[in-house]
Amino acid sequence: MTKAELINKEVYSFDDLCAIVDILRAPDGCPWDRAQTHKSLRNNFLEEAYEVVEGIDQEDNAILREELGDVLLEVIFHVGLARDEGAFTLSDVTSDICKKMIRRHPHVFGDETVPEGSIQDSWDAIKRKEKGAKSKEDTLRGIAKSLPALMRAEKTAEKSGFALLRKDAIPAGDEIVLAGEELYRLCLKQVRSGICPEEALQKYLNALIAHPDSYQ
């Protein structure tokens, strides 16, 4: 698809977006786009994902629509980089996710019966099998280290059975780890109460910002 064909269209398709990204990254395209790498775009991806979440939290469809487009752009950009490196293609990405969805829904795409209240447990069991996780340690290592600390703490609490380090496992005098333990204990308390620590802190911060006259 040429530049001329893409200009001034009323409605654009997924293929049009892919074509636009290819044009931007072409030798005669945009120098900034050509210079990008997976790593240079890392924080962009995080920012766009959080802006999608903001649209969801605000129940604002206009923001959600725009930010989903930005995330989609990031996905296509990363796929283009990978394709040029010979790592994988868009077809590989879509095939992988389609196969995953079919595998993890045996009660929909197979003849397995999974009670409604056990669907998440079934998903988790299939995921552990796929990842070769044979122990609790394997499962915990599979939690993304790039998650915000509160979200990572919540997942770790749930998947570890609310485990805590023994005191003798903490290096003597390591005040940072001890402070981390204190924070983690607070997270455990909230998770046990059915409260998401990340959501709780975000709501408090929103209230703090919204009511400056109420500061202690």
Query: What CATH number is given to the structural domain containing 45?
Result: 1.10.287.1080
- pLDDT tens digits for 125-166? 999 899 898 888 888 998 999 999 999 999 999 989 999 988
Residues 26 and 88 in one domain: yes
Specify if 120 maps to a domain: no
Specify if 39 maps to a domain: yes
Specify if 182 maps to a domain: yes
Domain span at 187: 144-216
Residue 168: per-residue pLDDT: 87
Residue 108: per-residue pLDDT: 96
Specify if 123 maps to a domain: no
Specify if 106 maps to a domain: no
Three-state DSSP string of the chain: CCHHHHCCCCCCCHHHHHHHHHHHHCCCCCHHHHHCCCCCCHHHHHHHHHHHHHHHHCCCHHHHHHHHHHHHHHHHHHHHHHHHHCCCCHHHHHHHHHHHHHHCCHHHHCCCCCCHHHHHHHHHHHHHHHHCCCCHHHHHHCCCCCCCHHHHHHHHHHHHCCCCCCHHHCCCCCHHHHHHHHHHHHHHHHHHCCCCHHHHHHHHHHHHHHCHHHCC
Residues 148 and 215 in one domain: yes
Residue 167: per-residue pLDDT: 86
Q: What is the pTM of this model?
A: 0.80
Specify if 130 maps to a domain: no
Residues 11 and 93 in one domain: yes
Specify if 53 maps to a domain: yes
User: To the nearest whole number, what is the mean pLDDT of the chain?
Assistant: 93
Specify if 215 maps to a domain: yes
Residues 7 and 73 in one domain: yes
What is the average per-residue pLDDT within 86-103?
Answer: 97
> Final residue of a domain: which of 68, 101, 134?
101
> Final residue of a domain: which of 75, 101, 127?
101
Residues 96 and 17 in one domain: yes
